[in-house]
Chains A and B, each alone.
Chain A
Amino acid sequence: MPLTKRIIPCLDVRDGTVVKGVCFKNLQSVGDPPTLAVAYQEQGADEIVFLDVKATVAGAATLRSAVKKTAENLFIPLTVGGGTRSFEDVRETLKAGADKVSVNTAAVENPEMITECADAFGSQCVVVAIDAKRDNDSWEVYTYSGTRPTGRDAVEWAKEVCDRGAGEILLTSMDADGTKAGYDIELTRTIVRATNVPVIASGGCGTIEHIVEVLTRGEADAALAASIFHYGQHTVADVKEALRAKGVPVRESVAE
């Protein structure tokens, strides 16, 4: 069996609580990060992504304490992103218990940082998050939580971050995010085919079928989803059962 496709519940954290919003707006609280992370681990999640959606300099210490608590009882990988501005931030976040750190705005503004982090910590813990929005026949990279267009082409940027040593791409379609209408299959497949690192697809998941679709037609290595898990609509185990039925390789959950 090849490497299994990963199912990654995402915790969007604001002021220490997990929130869910539509298109980066109208956020609602759904629970605390350590409790949700452990619940998803028990459901068979392959990894947890923890994103600080209102990252501020003053909030850095608070964030690290939340990361530490979240990591405490996790025996699966934890990726942390949001507000990571510098090499030192990456080091501190790893020290707090993250296995990988996702960098978005800082990578665009200072691409050398990707290489510095990859050289020091290894490519496997450097995730570059790309927020992409369709612009006619291409996609543009946005920074600052999707508020600022950069003029960069998402496909070119994805190739560049690989060359600079990123170990993984967390790709969010801003058009699809929060709509629950499905992942952007075309964007995902385009980025997967243009790059040579694993790609996590994000944005738009509303049903189990959407996950199946992005991992098959979309060719993604992993699917990230939030609301379908947060509201108890489905468990990670439900998703894996559906994937297995379609012949998609997924990790077997093994009881202790």
Chain B
Amino acid sequence: MKVSVMDYGVGNLHSIAKGLERAGATVEVVSDPALLLGSESIVFPGVGAFGAAMDILRPILPELNKHIVDGTPTMGVCLGMQILFERSEESPGVGLSAFRGEVKKLKSRRIPQMGWNDVVPEADPLFEGVPRGAQFYFANSYVCHPEEDVAVAKTEYGESFPSAVRKGALCGVQFHPEKSGPPGLRLLANFLRIAEESK
């Protein structure tokens, strides 16, 4: 599976690229968003801010939205998950709107949520083979509030929020699988399998 990883020009793409490669993907880091339009599958990594990321994607927004909702396997990680929604309290402007709902600031005194937290999954292919009780690494101040039934895992931090969402081969995770040791690598491999099977 060839995965195009979007480079917003800020932050570390090394970890996500390496994690996907270890899970068996061929990774191409893409800094021109137009190149996402012909891609076999897409990963939106989790660094930066909502507004800055969307500024880069905005010129091709309608085409990119169509490419994703037409079934191109896509995974958003952390911020990458958030931009798959319609809007965010973090910045004005629309998101990719592949999931219905919005992104809101966490209701907790100490933010960002920074560290390893429990993820309670439903029986879902994204979590296949992930040991029960496995924890994942989070570094986020905002969380997604879907307005459709797409949550496949929940986490508590001041409030309960969906830490993973999935609709076919379109997935989002609020944690960083690439920074979450073996359970995270397993989850990336599961995404690749889901992507293969959706072809």
Interface residues of A (CB under 8 A from B): 1-6, 41, 46, 68, 71-72, 74-77, 91, 94-100, 119-125, 167-168, 196-198, 221-222, 251-252, 254-256
Interface residues of B in 100-149 (CB under 8 A from A): 109-118, 131, 133-135, 137-141
| Residues in A neighbouring B49, C-beta threshold 8 A | 119-120, 122
Q: Is B182 an interface residue (CB 8 A)?
A: yes
> Total interface residues on B, using CB and 8 Å?
42
Q: Is B97 an interface residue (CB 8 A)?
A: no
| Residues in B neighbouring A120, C-beta threshold 8 A | 10, 48-49, 52
Q: Do B110 and A75 touch across chains, with their CB atoms under 8 A apart?
A: no
Q: Which listed residue, B14, B134, B183, touches A71 by the CB 8 Å rule?
A: B14
The residue of chain B having its C-beta at the shortest distance from the C-beta of A97 within the complex is B14
Q: Is B179 an interface residue (CB 8 A)?
A: yes
Interface residues of B in 7-45 (CB under 8 A from A): 10-12, 14-15, 18-19
Question: Given A3-B114, A120-B10, 17 more contacts at CB 8 Å?
Answer: A6-B115, A46-B115, A46-B137, A71-B14, A75-B15, A75-B181, A77-B139, A77-B179, A95-B14, A96-B14, A121-B10, A122-B10, A123-B112, A124-B114, A125-B12, A221-B110, A221-B115
The residue of chain B having its C-beta at the shortest distance from the C-beta of A73 within the complex is B18
Report whether over half of chain B's contact residues are helix, strand or loop; otherwise say mixed.
mixed
30 contacting pairs across A/B (C-beta < 8 A): A2-B117, A2-B156, A3-B113, A3-B117, A4-B117, A5-B115, A71-B14, A75-B181, A75-B184, A76-B179, A77-B137, A94-B11, A95-B12, A95-B14, A99-B15, A120-B10, A120-B52, A121-B11, A121-B47, A122-B49, A124-B114, A125-B47, A125-B139, A167-B114, A196-B109, A198-B110, A198-B115, A252-B133, A254-B182, A256-B182
Q: Do B10 and A94 touch across chains, with their CB atoms under 8 A apart?
A: yes
The residue of chain A having its C-beta at the shortest distance from the C-beta of B22 within the complex is A75
Q: Do B116 and A251 touch across chains, with their CB atoms under 8 A apart?
A: yes
Interface residues of B in 66-113 (CB under 8 A from A): 79, 109-113
The residue of chain B having its C-beta at the shortest distance from the C-beta of A250 within the complex is B116
| Residues in A neighbouring B10, C-beta threshold 8 A | 91, 94, 120-122
Least Cβ–Cβ distance between B57 and chain A, in angstroms: 17
Q: Do A124 and B117 touch across chains, with their CB atoms under 8 A apart?
A: no
A64 to B50, CA, bound (A): 28
Q: Do B111 and A196 touch across chains, with their CB atoms under 8 A apart?
A: yes
Q: Is B180 an interface residue (CB 8 A)?
A: yes
